[in-house]
Amino acid sequence: MIYSMTGYGKAVALFQERKICIEIRSLNGKAMDLSARIAPQFKGHEMEIRALVTSKLERGKTDFTLWVEQSEKADTPSLNMAVMQGYAEQMQQISEATGIAMPQNLMETLLKMPEVITRKEIYEVSDDEWEATLKAIHTAIDELLEFRKQEGEALYHKFISKIENISTLLASIEPYEKERVEKIRTRITDNLEKLASVDYDRNRLEQELIYYIEKLDVNEEKQRLSNHLSYFVETMDGNIGQGKKLGFIAQEMGREINTLGSKSNNAEMQNIVVKMKDELEQIKEQVLNVM
């Protein structure tokens, strides 16, 4: 079974008054290209997170995001009592030294002073919180892998359809192939018959015809293309992670189809080859997204 490299997964871990959110997206890529945006509290675990995501997802352009949402209660600003007291004492000393009266609303004045009101945005992550977060990361990865599996199944059925179409088109070449050989033979002999004054060796002509027709023979190309079609399906039914191999097989299929086109020397056969190229091009486009 094949897996797609396109996927999405999300999970949430609830710990005390915080909500830790995990989101992972992946697209096709030749190798693992991981971009991670991690909340400052969890920066110490970044290498562990990267290693885990890389080992599980293997390939693809991947975006990993971890952010923390505080509850309303946890997000309530704190008053720094020591700073407030320090400001009040200094203001009292200045008032006594200068004779300037203290503010009528001292509390209002103190609340406007720098660093009196603080928000605790960065904190130290405990082992329990990290364990809950790690579990959520695994959940998000599993969700993404399931997404990849479903996308892979859709790709599998699409590839099967395209392979069957190419196989049907390949079989439809045979009648035109036989007709083409007879047309070539007839055309050459008819033209020679018109040259009444020219004497030629009929045995030599037959040998040359055989040589010429053999050069236009496409049986080997047809057989190799048929083998590639079967091998493509066999590879899809094998182990996961065969995307690059499927790409190589598709390239070989393209070579055989191109050779068929160059040897066809027949309008109907060339039309069939164009249709096969169209089907193969759709395979090549989608195979880039296979793990």
CATH number of residue 29's parent domain: 3.30.230
Residue 2 located in a structural domain: no
Residue 136 sits in the same domain as residue 177? no
Residue 269 located in a structural domain: yes
Residue 19 located in a structural domain: yes
Give the pLDDT confidence score for residue 154 in this predicted structure.
Answer: 94
Residue 164 in this model has a pLDDT that exceeds 80: yes
Q: For 146-157, what is each residue's pLDDT tens digit? A: 999 999 999 999
Residue 65 sits in the same domain as residue 138? yes
Confidence of residue 287 (pLDDT cuts 50, 70, 90): very high
Residue 281 sits in the same domain as residue 157? yes
* C-alpha–C-alpha distance, residues 3 and 155, integer Å: 8
Q: Are 62 and 24 in contact (CB under 8 A)?
A: yes
Residue 243 located in a structural domain: yes
Confidence of residue 207 (pLDDT cuts 50, 70, 90): low
Residue 131 sits in the same domain as residue 217? no
What angle do helix axes 127-171 and 219-236 make, rounded to 10 degrees? 160
Residue 14 sits in the same domain as residue 37? yes
CA nearest neighbour of 68 among 18, 25, 125, 118: 18
Give the pLDDT confidence score for residue 122 in this predicted structure.
Answer: 58
| Least-confidence region, from 146-150, 153-157, 186-190, 286-290 | 186-190
Residue 114 sits in the same domain as residue 224? no
Residue 94 sits in the same domain as residue 176? no
Structure tokens at 70: 């505080």
Host domain of residue 43? 7-73+125-148
| Least-confidence region, from 18-27, 37-46, 80-89, 200-209 | 200-209
Residue 197 sits in the same domain as residue 64? no
State how far the alpha carbon of 120 is from the alpha carbons of 71, 79, 133, in Å: 12, 11, 20
Residue 157 sits in the same domain as residue 143? no
Please tell me which residue, 201 or 48, carries the higher pLDDT value. 48
Residue 243 in this model has a pLDDT that exceeds 60: yes
Residue 1 located in a structural domain: no
Residue 158 located in a structural domain: yes
Per DSSP, the residues of 136-149 read: HHHHHHHHHHHHHH
Residue 117 in this model has a pLDDT that exceeds 90: no
Give the pLDDT confidence score for residue 145 in this predicted structure.
Answer: 95
Q: How many domains does the chain have?
A: 3
Residue 99 sits in the same domain as residue 220? no
Q: Long-range contacts of range 234-242, CB-CB < 8 Å, 24 or more positions apart?
A: 236/1, 236/2, 236/156, 236/159, 236/160, 237/1, 240/1, 240/2, 240/3, 240/291, 241/3, 241/58, 241/59, 241/291, 242/2, 242/290, 242/291
Residue 105 sits in the same domain as residue 49? no
What pTM does this model have?
0.71
Residue 227 sits in the same domain as residue 169? yes
Give the pLDDT confidence score for residue 199 in this predicted structure.
Answer: 64
Mean pLDDT of 47-53: 95
